[in-house]
Amino acid sequence: MHAVVATVVHHPEDARILHRQIRALLDAGHTVTYIAPFRERGVTPDPELTVVDVPRAVGRRRIGALRAARAVLAHHAPTADILLFHDPELLLALPRNRPTTVWDVHEDAAASLLSKPWLPKPLRRPLRPIVRGFEGHAERRMHLLLAEEGYRQRFRHTHPVVPNTTYVPPEPERAPGTGRVAYLGHVSEARGAAELVELGRRLRPHGIRVEVIGSSDTETRPMLRAAQQEEAIHWYGFVPNDQALRMINGATAGICLLHDQPNYRHSLPTKVVEYMARGLPVVTSPNPAASALVTQQPQGECGMVVPFGDPAAAAEAVLRLHSSQQLRERFSRTGHRIARESFHWPVQAEAFVRQLETWACAEAGHQVAPQTVEVPGQLWRTAGGGLPLPTAPEPPHCANR
């Protein structure tokens, strides 16, 4: 199968797109053409991929990127077996002549408008029903993959969920130590940038540094640079996911201080799962999914929940972990066990690839029988909107592909 994968918004080395989904396709023997803003992000492409560079859609500069993407997709998509795109913006750039098309829904696009700093405030709420309308239009004309179970309620029909899991090593490489805490992921006001800076100021007198690993939006960047200069935080900027995960090994805790925003209320932050996979205790704001994962599992607790917008409480939680090796190690063991049992990406990877194969074959005139399968923590149903059995003996064969 030849897949065209496209984004104009995400970083070309986005963990979900490159390190999970594209890697799964390549490992399954498929070929990939990857359309992404490589040059603007300073990324050297993977030699295993055929890549096409496009401008980045950022802030209010989106029309040029979408025009370029439309031309590139019109050229490359018709010869592919499947087109997988990752930005709602690309709904405006899809060519008429295209193969089986799949939109990977990463976020609640309408709810996220409320926290987009580049969008004028008077337009944010009026645009929400328009975005919902685009989602309904897309649902009628293409396949959808959802990144969260909580996204199901936005759509009329059932669609498969490919959760943001991660690679979980058999054992953490290092036990959680002392002297530093880690934040991994994009940095913005709604993701707790100001709280991270204040946390760093509060922890610095105790000899604990806050390491921030991730890119930032334009509005937050000056604050992070100033905090870096005063040594309140150590900000590394964007780091490829595989390298970033190695960097957080051995930290006292992983930090997630999301604000109480509609877009986050039904989402499990990937960073929380990544912290657990690396054996880090978690300190998180009470985002419902994160709070339930950290404190309400049968296996026990793997971290602490602190109030929204309360860096003092976050600092207190870190200091408690810093002073107790026993507590750190208990949270570490529990979190890693939960991640390994329920959030190990290779289990999902086979199901993800099989779903794309199923859709591509079905639209080529081949029928694939529905299956119901159980993946740890999830129930998936195929051929009506679900992921098939990862251990199926053979993928569907399309003679004309």
Measured in whole angstroms, how far is the alpha carbon of residue 182 from the centre of its chain?
18
What is the architecture, at CATH level 2, of domain 2-163+345-381? 3-Layer(aba) Sandwich (3.40)
Which of 72-76, 173-177, 183-187, 365-369 shows the lowest per-residue confidence on average (mean pLDDT)?
365-369
Whether 397 shows a pLDDT value over 60: the answer reads no
Read off the pLDDT of each residue in 275-291 and give the average, rounded to a whole number: 96
* pLDDT per residue as tens digits for the range 22-32: 999 999 999 99
Note the pLDDT of residue 73: 96
Question: What number of CA atoms fall less than 13 Å from residue 224's CA on the CB side?
Answer: 24
Whether 161 shows a pLDDT value over 80: the answer reads yes
What is the architecture, at CATH level 2, of domain 180-342? 3-Layer(aba) Sandwich (3.40)
Note the pLDDT of residue 387: 33
Average pLDDT over the chain, rounded to whole? Answer: 86
Which of 82-96, 126-140, 314-328 shows the lowest per-residue confidence on average (mean pLDDT)?
126-140
What does the block give as tokens for 140? 């009628």
Taking CA 237 as the corner, what is the angle to CA 235 and CA 239, rounded to the nearest 5 degrees? 120
Most distant CA pair in the chain, distance:
67
Taking CA 282 as the corner, what is the angle to CA 277 and CA 284, rounded to the nearest 5 degrees? 130
Whether 38 shows a pLDDT value over 50: the answer reads yes
Read off the pLDDT of each residue in 279-291 and give the average, rounded to a whole number: 96
Rg from Cα positions in the chain: 21
Whether 385 shows a pLDDT value over 60: the answer reads no
What does the block give as tokens for 198? 């204040």
Measured in whole angstroms, how far is the alpha carbon of residue 60 from the centre of its chain?
23
Nearest in space to 378 (alpha carbons), one of 62, 147, 77, 65: 147
Note the pLDDT of residue 349: 93
Question: What number of CA atoms fall less than 13 Å from residue 36's CA on the CB side?
Answer: 27
Read off the pLDDT of each residue in 217-238 and give the average, rounded to a whole number: 95
Whether 265 shows a pLDDT value over 50: the answer reads yes
Q: Which residues pair with 51 in a beta bridge?
A: 34
Which of 67-81, 143-157, 198-212, 312-326 shows the lowest per-residue confidence on average (mean pLDDT)?
143-157
Three-class DSSP labels, the chain: CEEEEECCCCCCCCHHHHHHHHHHHHHCCCEEEEEECHHHHCCCCCCCCEEEECCCCECCECHHHHHHHHHHHHHHHHHCCEEEECCHHHHHCCCCCCCEEEEEECCCHHHHHHHCCCCCHHHHHHHHHHHHHHHHHHHHHCEEEECCHHHHHHCCCCCCECCCCECCCCCCCCCCCCCEEEEECCECCCCCHHHHHHHHHHHHHHCCEEEEECCECCCCHHHHHHHHHCCCCEEEECCCHHHHHHHHCCCCCEEECCCCCHHHCCCCCHHHHHHHHCCCCEEECCCHHHHHHHHCCCCCCCEEECCCCCHHHHHHHHHHHHHCHHHHHHHHHHHHHHHHHHCEHHHHHHHHHHHHHHHHHHHCCCCCCCCEEEECCEEEECCCCCCCCCCCCCCCCCCCC
Name 71's Cβ contacts closer than 8 Å, sequence gap at least 6: none
Whether 378 shows a pLDDT value over 60: the answer reads no
Note the pLDDT of residue 371: 37
Note the pLDDT of residue 208: 97
CB atoms within 10 A of CB 288: 14
Dist CA 230 CA 362 (whole Å): 58
Same fold, 2-163+345-381 and 180-342: yes
* pLDDT per residue as tens digits for the range 102-145: 999 887 664 555 556 655 666 666 666 666 666 777 888 899 99
Measured in whole angstroms, how far is the alpha carbon of residue 59 from the centre of its chain?
20
Note the pLDDT of residue 244: 95
Confidence class for position 61, pLDDT limits 50, 70, 90: confident
Measuring CA to CA, how many Å separate 187 from each of 15, 244, 250? 15, 14, 22
Whether 329 shows a pLDDT value over 70: the answer reads yes
Whether 263 shows a pLDDT value over 70: the answer reads yes
Confidence class for position 355, pLDDT limits 50, 70, 90: very high
Backbone angles phi, psi at 51, to 5 degrees: -120, 150
Q: Are strands 143-146 and 100-105 parallel, antiparallel or unpaired?
A: parallel
* Domain boundaries defined on the chain: 2-163+345-381, 180-342
Read off the pLDDT of each residue in 46-70 and give the average, rounded to a whole number: 87
Measured in whole angstroms, how far is the alpha carbon of residue 236 from the centre of its chain?
19
